[in-house]
Structure 1
Amino acid sequence: MERDILGYRARFGVLGPSTNTIVEPEFSEMRPAGVTNHYSRIVIKNASAISNETFMQGTLEIDRKTYEAVEGVLTMGPDYLVMGMSAVTFYGGAEGAQKWKDNIQSKSGLKISLGSEAVAAALKAHGNIRKIAFLSPYYPVANAEVANYLSDHGYETVRDKPLQCPSWHDIARVTPSTVRETVNALNGDDVDAIVQVGTNLCMARQAERLEMELNKPVIAINTATYWHALRANGIEDKISGFGRLLSEF
């Protein structure tokens, strides 16, 4: 089969909420030569999340509209799909995530990398990790879903912090200093690794600095998801600037 001039190794169809301004640039920074990212927007409004209930309603609206974005990106003939929204991929534990994945793959005819699956794979790649702490821009009800999913994969959540961002746009406005303060509060001798979920929360490059300071894995979900997509396609390039996951595994 003839290949695109630029995407001669892989062409990724990236699915992300239209309100998300972080996934596209972070994935672009991680892109090796010969791989191209083609962002397809899940069209939603900038929902206000002011409670557990409104947050869940907002994420489920994204879920309902995901396949419209899949249909759009299929027109350019991608080799693989990458989910650039993480919350719904954790819902229902390991079983729920697998059903969600199977549904997208069945409808599209393509394989897909999910944030939930990628985080579990990243923790496994580091080895000797059992107890984690994580931060998110979510509300507590969604953090409980993340903890449940990770528990299904054998990881105990010691502490977690939902930042409870008041709108989708506000997630992208969380400052590096807030991220650092939150990570430091979550860290402890009883934690083997720190995880960040929520793809509109900017942390891919900061995770590397925190990882060096804390001397333990700090896994940003956009890094984990893009790493998972690359490795699933046999692309083993080691990429610096985003922590051990991309530079070593």
Structure 2
Amino acid sequence: MPLKPRPNPDVLGHRRLFGVLGPSTNTVVQPDFDDLRVPGVTNHYSRIVVDDAQAISDETFMAGTLEISRNTVEAVRGVLTCNPDYLVMGMSAVTFYGGAEGAAKWRENIEKEAGVSLCTGSQSLIEAFNAYGGIKRIAVISPYYPSANAQVAHFMADHGIEVVRDTCLQCPSWTAIAQVPTSTLREELKKLDGDDVDALVQVGTNLSMVKFAAAAELWLGKPVIAINTATYWNALRQNGIMDRKQGFGRLMEEF
């Protein structure tokens, strides 16, 4: 769709101002989205305040993500003061909860509060699958715990996508997610890959994979989709911005 010009364009964000919502403990989304940014689009990060949860378990992981969900509206109110054109969710877990229906309802509630459209990671993955074409069976890597991975599988099933196998890294704190080394990601992708999956998918926005996923596509010979890449790509495309960007995988380079 063609971009509607702003009546009084921002000098730097003359194409679009993106309001980015992310947990206060997240140190990956902000630099990732800035790396993915294209000329004339600017990102304005609003932190969803949450304590750095420690000694996470399956139950406390879910409770912690729901706390982030509850605090999202306050972050929305903060970023709206810069008059963004569009909102981008930099936290993925809660955008899968409750399957397709629950995810849609969650997004709609935020959009109603904001009066501005919101891009979520879960829906962005579905858009990415459609762009690549032929993706029906996936393997998933996450920093989550099993209960959250089950929510991802539920959401995917509602969209006709089968999660063949998955890995939960079960990071011990929110900030520890950003400390997972590339060597661990490499070994886990090798375990997840197989002829029975069409694509490898990473969820959990504080897990740094935008550049590694692009490299992994080359040696695995199939789509490797990082959640931050998919989300920002979809935000651009939903706003009619079709710029390609090199170095971040086929999604940003071809579609």
Please indicate the TM-score interval, normalised by the length of the shorter structure: over 0.9
- Segments of structure 1 that go 5 or more residues without pairing to the other structure are none
CA–CA distance in structure 2, aligned partners of residues 49 and 224 of structure 1: 30
The code of the aligned residue for 1:19 comes to: T
Alignment of 1:180-191 (within 5 A): 180-191=186-197
| 1:49 to partner: Cα distance | 4.6
Matched with 1:75 is: 81
The secondary structure found in structure 2 opposite 1:166 is coil
**CA–CA distance in 2 between the matches of 1:20 and 1:217?**
25
Instruction: Find the aligned partners of 2:227 and 2:203 in 1 and give their Cα distance.
Output: 5
Q: Note if 1:119 corresponds to 2:116.
A: no
Amino acid at match of 2:85: D
**Deviation of the 1:50 alpha carbon:** 2.6
Greater shift in the superposed pair: 46-55 or 173-182: 46-55
What is the match of residue 86 of structure 1?
Answer: 92
Secondary structure of 1:40's match? strand
Whole-angstrom distance in 1 between the partners of 2:104 and 2:35: 29
What are the within-5 Å matches in structure 2 for residues 24-35 of structure 1? 24-35=30-41
Q: C-alpha displacement at 1:224, in angstroms?
A: 0.2
Q: List 4+ stretches of structure 1 deviating above 3 A.
A: none
Three-state SS of the structure 1 residue aligned to 2:52 is coil
Instruction: Please report the TM-score for the alignment, with normalisation by the length of structure 2.
Output: 0.97
Are 1:10 and 2:25 matched, yes or no?
A: no
What residue in structure 2 maps to residue 177 of structure 1? 183
> For the residues of structure 2 that align with 1:50 and 1:104, how far apart are their CA atoms?
27
1:44 matched to 2:53: no
Instruction: Provide the secondary structure at the position in 2 that maps to 1:75.
Output: helix
User: Residues of 2 paired with 1:97 and 1:188: CA distance?
Assistant: 29
For residue 16 of structure 1, what is the amino acid of its counterpart? G
Contact 1:49 1:55 in 2 (8 A): no
> Where do residues 191-210 of structure 1 align in structure 2 (5 Å cutoff)?
191-210=197-216
2:238 to 224, 232, 239: 232
1:18 and 1:97 map into 2 onto residues whose CA distance is 22
Q: How many residues align?
A: 249
Partner of 1:65: 71
Letter in 2 for 1:183: L
SS of the residue 2:45 aligns to: strand
Q: Distance in 1 between matches of 2:170 and 2:47?
A: 23
CA distance in 1, matches of 2:75, 2:226: 24
> 2: CA distance between counterparts of 1:26 and 1:124?
23
What TM-score does the superposition give when structure 1 sets the normalisation length? 0.99
Q: Distance in 1 between matches of 2:8 and 2:219?
A: 46
Partner amino acid, structure 2, of 1:154: G
Contact 1:22 1:201 in 2 (8 A): yes
SS of equivalent residue, structure 1 residue 29? helix
**1:160 alignment partner, one of 155, 166, 190:** 166
Residue in structure 2 matched with residue 20 of structure 1 by the alignment = 26
Structure 2 Cα separation of the partners of residues 198 and 120 of structure 1: 16
CA–CA distance in 2 between the matches of 1:39 and 1:153? Answer: 30
Aligned-pair Cα RMSD in Å = 0.6
In 1: Cα distance, 2:74 partner to 2:61 partner: 21
Q: Residue 142 of structure 1 aligns with which residue?
A: 148
The residue number in structure 2 matching 1:151 is 157
